[in-house]
Structures are given as C-alpha cells and as structure tokens.
Amino acid sequence: MNQHNWMEPKVPKWGYSITELDPDKTIKASGRELRVSPKHAREVCKTIKGMKLDQAKEYLQQVMAKQKPVPFRRHKKKVGHKHGMQKAFAGRYPVKAAQKILKVLEGAEANAEYRGLDAERLRIVHASAYPGMKIKRYIERAFGRSTPRFKTLCHVELVLEEVEGT
C-alpha cells in the first residue's frame, strides 16, 4: 500500500532543457523562479552563449556598470539604438537580469572547482531563460474595481563545457 503523507511539501523536480551531456566535462547551474524579466534574461543569455567563463563574467559586470549594452534582437520595439554594437542596433542595459545571471554563473564556477575542472577553459555551451510562474496581485481602484498587477518569474539554465587547448 502506498503511504503518502499529505503534510509533506511538494518539491518540484527541475530538469534541464538540454540533454545528452558528457558529465565528466560539463557543469550545470540553474536559477529557478528568479524575479527578473524573462525577456531581458533571454537576451542576456543569448549574448553570453558561446563566451568563455571569464569573458562572460567581465561582460556582465560591464553591463551592470552600463558600459556595454546587451543587443536586443527579439524584444526590440521602441528600444533605442546603442553605440558600439555589432549585428544589432537596438540595445539596453538590463542590470537586474545581468546581476542574477552573474550569480548563476558564479555558482557554475563553484561547481566546476568542486568537480576539479579548470575554470580557465570553461565555455558556455547552453544558456537559456524562460518564464516561470506568475505572482498574481491586484491593485484596488475606485468604484469597487481592481487592476491586475502580475509578475512573471524566470528560470535561467547555464551549461559550461571544458574545452581543449587554450
């Protein structure tokens, strides 16, 4: 007979959207239910994918200091052009998303050190961000009405791989 305790909290089992990885050479890290815009996080992830670990960390710190913009390729309506960008003209400085993704990246670096991989040779092979659950709130208005004030949370996944050579 299957005994289930209804008082036990239901913990979600998070999976990754990328499969068939070599566990000896890859490191995974994720940030779940982050309070950042999924649109901004998507653009940041698309930009840092393919970068080396130290290069990506430096880039995210420059985004937070508003020195380098993140090119917006999909969510770019009414987004102003920024100076010094290649392949895209619209850009922004999503500081909050860069902070959270940098934290996940540092977690991946710690995972690599724990597993004994060389942090100098790590490259980001998978970076994705997608919407999580919605926090539903309502603002009270005049005459008994209300306005929804929903906040969409965001999941961020990073996979780093140790590359041969330099």
Kindly report, residue by residue over 2-58, the tens digit of the pLDDT: 666 667 777 777 888 888 888 889 999 999 999 999 999 999 999 999 999 999 999
Q: What is the mean pLDDT of residues 94-118?
A: 95
Question: So what's the pLDDT on residue 166?
Answer: 57
Name, in order, each residue with C-beta under 8 angstroms of 52's C-beta and a sequence gap of 6 or more. Answer: 121, 122, 123, 124
What is the C-alpha to C-alpha distance for residues 137 and 23, in angstroms, rounded to an integer?
41
80 to 59, 64, 89: CA distances (angstroms): 20, 18, 8
Given the structure tokens 């959270």, which residue do they identify?
A: 100
Question: So what's the pLDDT on residue 42?
Answer: 96
Topology of the domain comprising 26-162: Ribosomal Protein L22; Chain A (3.90.470)
Q: Is the dihedral of CA 49, 53, 55, 58 positive or negative?
A: positive
- Provide the token pair at 32: 């779940």
Tell me the whole-structure pTM to 2 decimals: 0.88
Q: Which long-range contacts (CB under 8 A, 24 or more apart) does 84-87 make?
A: none
